[in-house]
């Protein structure tokens, strides 16, 4: 695809080799296997000193959500990053983003908590959101200051968790770092049209995942737990850093969300310039693409700034 440098194009080509042309026609089990294999191919080892622990956190409906903590020392840090992984609300888990979370913990010198929220089609909204909220509430109850972070679907969940916990935004929740997130559910933006068939995420892919997440029900566009832009008070949100990818149908979501926050007086930075020539899913390219590496460094710097 034109507009991508050689390193990003090589990343795209290598990624697409893991999937047949019509991957969404395969079973969910097969799609997850392809995705897990892809993530494993790009995975790097964790820094040896990190203390990694898996546990279960209870949700109100009786579910036990798996959580993985990457601790920088034997005592929990006062400040923590709560990370929600991407994967279209259908794919991914603790292992798919293990190295991303470990590297954030190392670079930012902060404990990172990764949430294995329930996935569609076995489960449906709001179970995914409720899993994240259960973990967030546990961290807040312990007195931690929390940065909400996530990529793609995880970025959407993170932003909606902030919506559902507006009274503690700016206090317990000290910031958001959202990486190529879905924030508007608006299919008419310029980027949705221009990049409808982008190499790593298409509009058709998003429609497919959305249908699975809602179990075919109408999309609840006015629900602030489902759509970040349905927030009832943008002025109450915490300082926010946005990291869109240019070659992505979701690119304009960040600009629309940033404008809403800015007009409400909430500090927000939309790093569109850093995303020029990058594609959805570029986190996996941070060790093979100079541009993605620079972007990831800025993501970590943003987290550190929020925790300073």
- Among 114, 280, 289, 302, the active-site one is 280
Q: Tokens for 232?
A: 């009832």
Opening angle at CA 91, ends 89 and 93, nearest 5: 100
Q: Is 152 a catalytic residue?
A: yes
**3-state DSSP call for residue 84?**
strand
Sign (positive/negative) of CA torsion 201, 252, 286, 87? negative
Taking a C-beta distance cutoff of 8 angstroms, is the pair 245, 278 a contact?
yes
* Long-range contact pairs involving 1-6 (C-beta distance under 8 Å, separation at least 24): 1/198, 1/199, 1/247, 3/246, 3/247, 3/277, 4/247, 4/277, 4/279, 5/277, 5/289, 5/291
* Residues in CB range of 284: below 8 A, 6 or more apart: 11, 15, 38, 39, 42
How many angstroms separate the CA atoms of 156 and 52, rounded?
A: 25
Q: Considering 98, 116, 151, 248, which one is annotated as catalytic?
A: 248
Using CA atoms, how far residue 304 sits from 114, 294, 297, 299, in Å, is: 17, 15, 11, 9
Given a contact cutoff of 8 angstroms between Cβ atoms, the answer to whether 254 and 183 are in contact is: yes
**Residue 269 DSSP SS3:** strand
Catalytically annotated residue among 77, 96, 114, 152: 152
Q: Is 280 annotated as catalytic?
A: yes
Q: Reduce the DSSP state of residue 217 to 3 states and report it.
A: coil
So which residues are the catalytic ones?
A: 152, 248, 280
């Amino acid at each position: 695809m034109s507009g991508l440098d050689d390193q990003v194009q090589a990343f795209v080509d290598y990624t697409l080799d893991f999937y047949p042309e019509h991957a969404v026609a395969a079973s969910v089990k097969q799609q997850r296997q392809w995705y897990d294999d892809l993530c494993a191919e790009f995975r790097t080892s964790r820094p040896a000193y990190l203390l990694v622990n898996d546990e279960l956190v209870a949700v109100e409906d009786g579910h036990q959500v798996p959580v993985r903590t990457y601790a920088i020392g034997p005592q929990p840090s006062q400040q923590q990053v709560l990370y929600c992984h991407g994967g279209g609300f259908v794919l991914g888990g603790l292992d798919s983003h293990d190295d991303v979370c470990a590297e954030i913990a190392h670079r930012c010198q902060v404990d990172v908590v990764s949430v294995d929220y329930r996935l569609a089609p076995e489960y449906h909204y709001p179970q995914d959101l409720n899993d994240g909220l259960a973990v967030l509430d546990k961290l807040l109850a312990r007195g931690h200051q929390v940065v909400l972070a996530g990529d793609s679907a995880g970025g959407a969940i993170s932003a909606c968790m902030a919506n559902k916990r507006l009274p503690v935004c700016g206090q317990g929740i000290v910031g958001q770092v959202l990486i190529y997130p879905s924030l508007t559910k608006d299919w008419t933006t310029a980027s949705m049209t221009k990049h409808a068939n982008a190499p790593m995420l298409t509009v058709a892919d998003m429609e497919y995942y959305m249908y699975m997440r809602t179990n075919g029900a109408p999309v609840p566009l006015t629900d602030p737990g489902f759509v970040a832009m349905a927030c009832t008070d943008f002025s109450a949100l915490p300082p926010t850093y946005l990291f869109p990818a240019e070659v992505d149908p979701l690119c304009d979501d960040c600009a629309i969300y940033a404008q809403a926050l800015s007009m409400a007086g909430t500090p927000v930075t939309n790093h569109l310039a850093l995303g020029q020539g990058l594609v959805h899913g570029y986190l996996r390219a941070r060790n093979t693409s100079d541009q993605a590496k620079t972007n990831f460094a800025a993501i970590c710097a943003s987290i550190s700034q929020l925790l300073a």
